[in-house]
Amino acid sequence: MTIEAFAPAKINLTLHVTGQRHDGYHLLDSLVVFANVGDRIWIEPADEMSLEITGPFAQGVPADARNLVWKAAVLAGHTAHIRLEKNLPHGAGIGGGSSDAGALLAALGCADTGVSLGADVPVCRLGQAAQMSGIGDMVEPFLGMPSLFAVLVNSGVHVPTPQVFKTLKNKDNPAMTGEFSTHDTAAALIDWVSDQRNDLEAAAIACAPEIAGVLEVLRGQPNQKLVRMSGSGATCFALFETAADAQTAAAAIRLQNPDWWVVDCALS
């Protein structure tokens, strides 16, 4: 029987780097949400492992044991033919392979959180708004998340995560302040998020100055409430209170920048 799974784009509304362990792992404090756009996975039991990559961002994605979705299947003890439809740009700070791996683990009912595969895998396995902390191993669901709408933009620049962390000057920053889970309206949550940070944004811009241009374009959109980079980059987002405002902004950005990846979406 074929199992189908959806691997949504992961958006870090906040990303605080609060320390670094002696083993090199970074400590994080992040409010993570998920978009209604993402990759799709089909898992069919087979005698041997195999992976087929399709979709607009299939090029350059390994179709062998290097792929996180392959590793997740092995972790789950499942031998299968997997078809992965890549609709999200990779190396873009929005989950990518981590979301694929997390979705597969959830679809197969694997009890392992997948933290051994990467810091983002446990929260992606949950697949809903949550606070992610520690080295990604601590995940607390955000129940009652208000409706938010966003425009996601990636100019095509690739920023390796290790390079961004290496460029980060201060790795001992304050954790998130206040209690985000008490904000039950979009306006209140956005106000709270505005007081938080993405500690990797400046480091990512130092590695890829193009990110600053994307942020500037998003800041110029009518009715945007907050603009920030997601994860370690290079995808950036603008938050809106209505779907119509997000759709209008996305259409304008696509018209001006036809080579960019631009989507409007709902976040949950």
Catalytic residues: 10, 120
Whole-number Å distance between alpha carbons of 185 and 240: 12
- Give the pair of three-digit tokens for residue 201: 């944004």
CB 19 within 8 Å of CB 27: yes
